[in-house]
Amino acid sequence: MASCGKPADGEKKFRITVVKQPAGAEVQARGILYDAQLEHTLRQGDLLQFTDFLTQSGHALPSEMMNDPLRLEAVMYQLILSRPELSDKHEASRIWLDGHTALGSGNPSLNEASRAAEEKLRQIEQAQNEAPQKPGKRVIYLRTLGAN
């Protein structure tokens, strides 16, 4: 049976190094991979690839949007506008949105989304530049049990 104090007679002392992944690191890694795949898909500008990506990634939109190509294409172009790393595609997206939607590219929520995306990108870059955390160390005392 394990004890937490000093080892008693007959107990052996073991030192164990606990290496624990920082909280959220796995989720963050999956998010970075998702963002990279989304960026690649949006850069293609192909509605079928975008639909396939949403379905395969488990981020499909409600069925009324997934079954409406015009609405889905509008979402695709809005996403392109919200991502600063796709700035080379912004003008074409604005032109498409202005010609096919009531709000067009002047939608104020797109400007907010773009600022939020820039902040997220800055946070990811900052997290990647930080030094990795050192593993924590604890001492655990174990006692062997004799056969009865």
Q: For residue 76, is it within any domain?
A: yes
For 68-84, the pLDDT digits (tens) are: 898 899 889 988 988 88
Q: For residue 100, is it within any domain?
A: yes
Contact 72, 51 (CB under 8 A): yes
For 20-54, the pLDDT digits (tens) are: 555 566 666 777 788 899 999 999 999 999 999 98
Contact 54, 61 (CB under 8 A): yes
What residues contact residue 14 under an 8 Å CB cut-off, 6+ apart?
Answer: 140, 141, 142
Q: For residue 4, is it within any domain?
A: no
For 96-139, the pLDDT digits (tens) are: 888 887 766 666 565 565 566 667 767 777 776 665 555 555 55
Q: For residue 148, is it within any domain?
A: no
Q: For residue 143, is it within any domain?
A: no
Q: Give the tokens for residue 33.
A: 């991979």
Q: Give the tokens for residue 124.
A: 């990811």
SS3 state of residue 14: strand
Number of domains in the chain: 1
Domain containing residue 60: 23-132
